[in-house]
């Protein structure tokens, strides 16, 4: 307790108002303070207001990456790792290299590309020859070339056209593979060189969560080689029993104790089913984390607002004092006079209290400093809990 010896010397009860014995439990009508006591005790007054407060559920909330911001990177090809360029925990920028590997699939694809381009060139030449033959036949039809020969050459031209379209489609398909698989938001090949390597790159600004390979390791398209998470937004996840989850709804408020003060967020998701492994229901709140202060793996104290709000007169929790097992608030009558009032508390969440009866809206109530007023009554002979 503060050194109230000096301050309490300045706190005076109205004469004749105290009970002779504590068991009479009669509160004095007024506790009187002088200006020095007001300053020493830091008395502050708030206005009691009508309102509603939702009961809260204390929980432990853990920080996890937002799964919508997590990228699992798979190689487009098959090969052997040449270099691992980052480690878990490394902050990376979009396009930054993560892993480089000898890409056997890229080698095969480039050979196929060379073969397909040669086949396309041959198809173009064959089509040109067939078109020339048709033009000559048309010029000589009915003279040295029969109509049957003209139709045969036209059939050959039609076949050459079909072959040309097929070869062009092959080249286009492989070109799309180079553009979309070997070169994408998460991978780049060694363009313009004979070096048949590919590099896995980060598709976003974020933090490396996992690297699941090593130098000389084999990789293929089924492997989750690297995981990168954008931690500018994270999840606060609480696992609670189903009976408690039934009292929590999406859109409610979550208050999480973090370094620097309480963090207020919105409850985004309450799972409809309990986990078969834990029997608990997951509650998720999405919060911004631009400075990266919240790191996956942290466990924090939090409260979740429940569905059923309680209506009444709302005051700060610190305004409540307990005297003879009763809840009491102090209403300011004047700058020096404060009236203790017994109230019926419907809800106290540790921050705000809802008064069911005993107090009216717009009454000025002592918040900080109410303990000093209670102490005076206690020293005067009443039991202060």
Rounded to 5°, the CA angle 7-10-11 comes to 95
> For residue 321, what pLDDT is reported?
93
> For residue 378, what pLDDT is reported?
72
> For residue 174, what pLDDT is reported?
86
Each residue's pLDDT tens digit, 146-184: 888 889 999 999 999 999 999 999 999 988 888 887 889
pTM strictly above 0.75: no
Q: Where are the domains of the chain?
A: 4-53+310-379, 57-68+230-305, 75-223
> For residue 1, what pLDDT is reported?
42
> For residue 143, what pLDDT is reported?
76
> What is the sign, positive or negative, of the torsion defined by CA atoms of 284, 290, 296, 298?
negative
Asked: is 4-53+310-379 a CATH 1.10.3720.10 domain? The reply is no
Q: Kindly report the CATH number that applies to the domain delimited by 57-68+230-305.
A: 2.40.30.170
Q: How far is CA 191 from the centre of its chain?
A: 38
Phi-psi region of 204 (alpha: psi -120 to 50; beta: other; left: phi over 0): beta
Q: What is the DSSP string of 290-316?
A: TT--S-TT-EEEEEEEBS--EEEEEEE
> For residue 2, what pLDDT is reported?
44
Other CB atoms within 10 A of residue 39 CB: 12
Parts of the chain with a pLDDT under 70: 1-25, 192-194, 379-385
> For residue 20, what pLDDT is reported?
35
> For residue 377, what pLDDT is reported?
80
Q: Which two tokens stand for residue 361?
A: 């809206």
């Amino acid at each position: 307790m503060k050194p109230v010896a000096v301050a309490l010397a300045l706190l005076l009860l109205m004469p004749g108002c105290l009970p002779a014995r504590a068991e009479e439990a009669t509160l004095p009508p007024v506790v009187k303070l002088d200006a020095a006591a007001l300053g020493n005790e830091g008395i502050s007054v708030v206005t009691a207001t009508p309102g509603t407060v939702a009961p809260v559920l204390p929980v432990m909330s853990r920080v996890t990456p937002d799964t919508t911001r997590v990228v699992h990177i798979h190689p487009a090809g098959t090969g052997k790792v040449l270099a691992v360029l980052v480690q878990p925990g490394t902050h990376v920028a979009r396009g930054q290299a993560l892993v480089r590997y000898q890409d056997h699939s890229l080698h095969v694809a480039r050979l196929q590309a060379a073969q397909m381009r040669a086949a396309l060139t041959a198809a173009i030449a064959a089509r040109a020859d067939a078109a020339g033959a048709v033009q000559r036949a048309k010029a000589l039809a009915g003279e040295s070339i029969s109509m049957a020969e003209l139709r045969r050459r036209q059939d050959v031209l039609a076949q050459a056209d079909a072959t040309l379209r097929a070869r062009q489609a092959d080249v286009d398909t492989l070109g799309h593979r180079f553009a979309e698989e070997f070169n994408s938001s998460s991978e780049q090949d060694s363009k313009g060189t004979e070096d048949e390597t590919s590099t896995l790159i980060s598709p976003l600004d974020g933090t490396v969560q996992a690297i699941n390979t090593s130098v000389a390791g084999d990789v293929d398209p089924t492997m989750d080689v690297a995981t990168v998470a954008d931690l500018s937004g994270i999840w606060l996840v609480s696992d609670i029993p189903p009976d408690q989850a039934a009292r929590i709804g999406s859109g409610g408020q979550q208050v999480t104790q973090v370094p620097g003060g309480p963090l207020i967020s919105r409850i985004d998701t309450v799972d409809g089913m309990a986990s078969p492994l834990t029997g608990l229901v997951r509650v998720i709140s999405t919060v911004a984390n631009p400075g990266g202060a919240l790191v996956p793996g942290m466990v924090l104290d939090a409260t979740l607002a429940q569905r059923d709000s309680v209506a009444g007169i709302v005051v700060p929790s610190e305004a409540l004092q307990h005297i003879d097992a009763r809840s009491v608030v102090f209403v300011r009558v004047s700058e020096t006079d404060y009236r203790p009032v017994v109230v019926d508390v419907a809800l106290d969440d540790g921050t705000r209290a809802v008064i069911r009866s005993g107090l009216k809206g717009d009454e000025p109530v002592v918040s900080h400093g109410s303990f000093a007023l209670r102490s005076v009554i206690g020293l005067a002979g009443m039991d202060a809990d």
